Structure 1
């Protein structure tokens, strides 16, 4: 994926592909373990990139410094609510680089110019949508994969909320966990499959949203609120319902309950883990189950952040690469079923190119 400077207007509707773009830069722990999510801050809707200015026009019509750039208490630089360090400084140079993953041949790219799209007009793999526009959730993720992701988050909540100190070191990751829990619960309520807590998925969705909103900074107040939300999540996953659960609606728009920035972070980690660790066919064959899990989560969340309730989802430059990302993640899943390392390499290259294409349109 690419890193680049992006222009974002500040809002509570987080944006997806910018953070997936950072997958080539961070290494994760060794094979076999599911990646821990990275920090989550709500991302705003992107604004389309402006045409590049010539040197002669820059002196006459220079833009003021970006008012959305800020530095947090930890000294980390942000553009709106997106971390500065996930973007490449030169996106055009990055997208021009057609070096494939793991040494796979880059078929059909020799004559491609940097601005030429490497994709067909329509994704090659079948669209995971049912008739009438309803999402066919079972084609994107199984209930077993949802359960595995929920188990990963449960373990992370336990280790990260042992004390205020452990919370302070993990609160951004906990906010990501909240977004992921909300998204998983919302999908579980719509999925035709079954899971032990499906009947209470609407409550789990709300507790995930509470965690995402609680883990927003250091201090005892945020720690206590996050701990309460996590305890409620644990209760629902165990088949219990807290006495003050209330009566939340059966369904809510994804944009209201699933932070796009949080989902972007989890998507980034899924792609990052595969790119950093699955670098040989022997490793691929040993990690088929984990690759299938990470690919399914990547494709699921790419589909969710394409939901029309999020900002920018009416723009072709957003919708097109989002659809290509869903298709590429599906191909990665298929590669594990067919045990084809070559197909996996191609899928990873397409995932990266989808992000590059998006960020040529949404950049500073």
Structure 2
């Protein structure tokens, strides 16, 4: 009896399968499909290339050639050429990149921030030493610029000595120990003497600027990001630029000298031509901002800000 039941079940399954197959064949037979297209080679030859190589005229492009073309296309914006005027010229003298007013204002600003950081050993040890390191390196760089500035600017007499003192302490601010705090506090007193006009006495200073002994690139990059944010905020509208032009000029001029410092001898990657090109592009963009301010041309200001942003973003993509 059981065998008969199994046999009947198998017959039923087989019958269902045959019915389903027959239905599929009927549908497939009724389905209409487009005929395979026929191409005439003599006709399509005028439209399609035989290979990718035959579609390229001249030499096949490389990564280097594409970079050169991109740089060439960006040059008018970076240099500020075109209808709005000629390219800003950078001959290596600080006077052509930053005004005395911008330097003096930034020294005062960083000094006030430094005063708020170096207060008590506890907060200094808890992370204040990192802020102190940044402030000291920024001020050391500014005093280095002042020491080579050809025009009239405050603190010139003591600039080289201040540069060496602040840089030495900055490099020691890798921790918040009591010894480091005491030295940082001594620099606080030195800065106050400078601001009051008392000076630093007859302190001995090294000849010339050895940038590798003045600052590290990492803190300078952090400072650069601060300046970029300040510049973007101050230039976000034509009304804002007209209302506070110095709030645009100061960060722009500071970015100009940073771009120059970054590729000086002794700095990281200073011998890398691609890296140097990014630095020069940023400096040119910053000087384009200043030229726009001088000409009361908001579009040129915006173009310069765009060049700064592009050069920084592209550089970070390769070197960060």
Say yes or no: TM over 0.5. yes
Q: What is the deviation of 1:362? A: 2.4
Question: What is the rounded CA distance, in whole Å, between the counterparts of 2:288 and 2:136 in structure 1?
Answer: 28
On the 8 A contact 2:238/2:298 being kept in 1, the answer is yes
Query: What do residues 267-316 of structure 1 show as CA deviations (whole Å, max 9, x unaligned)?
Result: 21111122245322222222211110110011111111121232322212
Alignment correspondent of 1:227? 185
Query: What do residues 151-204 of structure 1 show as CA deviations (whole Å, max 9, x unaligned)?
Result: 111211222222234434533222111111111111111111123421111111
Pair member with larger Rg: 2
Over 3 Å counting, the alpha-carbon distance change for 1:277 and 1:186 in structure 2 is closer
Alignment correspondent of 1:216? 174
**TM-score in terms of structure 1 length:** 0.61
Matches within 5 A, 1:247-258: 247-258=204-215
Residue of structure 2 aligned with 1:162, choices 115, 119, 127: 119
Over 3 Å counting, the alpha-carbon distance change for 1:242 and 1:279 in structure 2 is closer
Q: What is the deviation of 1:140? A: 0.6
Residue of structure 2 aligned with 1:205, choices 146, 163, 187: 163
Q: What is the deviation of 1:150? A: 0.9
Alignment correspondent of 1:149? 106
Matched, 1:186 2:117: no
Matched, 1:127 2:89: yes
Higher relative contact order by CA 8 Å / sep ≥ 6: 1 or 2?
1
Alignment correspondent of 1:324? 281
Question: What is the rounded CA distance, in whole Å, between the counterparts of 2:262 and 2:274 in structure 1?
Answer: 14
Matched position secondary structure for 2:75: coil
Query: What do residues 301-355 of structure 1 show as CA deviations (whole Å, max 9, x unaligned)?
Result: 1111121232322212101111100000001112222222222221111111112
Over 3 Å counting, the alpha-carbon distance change for 1:362 and 1:214 in structure 2 is closer
Alignment correspondent of 1:286? 243
Alignment correspondent of 1:40? none
Residue of structure 2 aligned with 1:301, choices 238, 255, 258: 258
**TM-score in terms of structure 2 length:** 0.69
**Number of paired residues?**
245
User: Gaps spanning 5+ residues in structure 2: where?
Assistant: 1-65, 82-86
Alignment correspondent of 2:307? 350
Alignment correspondent of 1:174? 132
Between structures 1 and 2, the one with greater helix share: 2
On the 8 A contact 1:177/1:262 being kept in 2, the answer is no
Alignment correspondent of 1:90? none
On the 8 A contact 2:282/2:308 being kept in 1, the answer is yes
Question: What is the rounded CA distance, in whole Å, between the counterparts of 2:248 and 2:233 in structure 1?
Answer: 12
Question: What is the rounded CA distance, in whole Å, between the counterparts of 2:188 and 2:200 in structure 1?
Answer: 12
User: Gaps spanning 5+ residues in structure 1: where?
Assistant: 1-111, 130-134
Question: What is the rounded CA distance, in whole Å, between the counterparts of 1:286 and 1:219 in structure 2?
Answer: 45
Question: What is the rounded CA distance, in whole Å, between the counterparts of 1:259 and 1:240 in structure 2?
Answer: 29
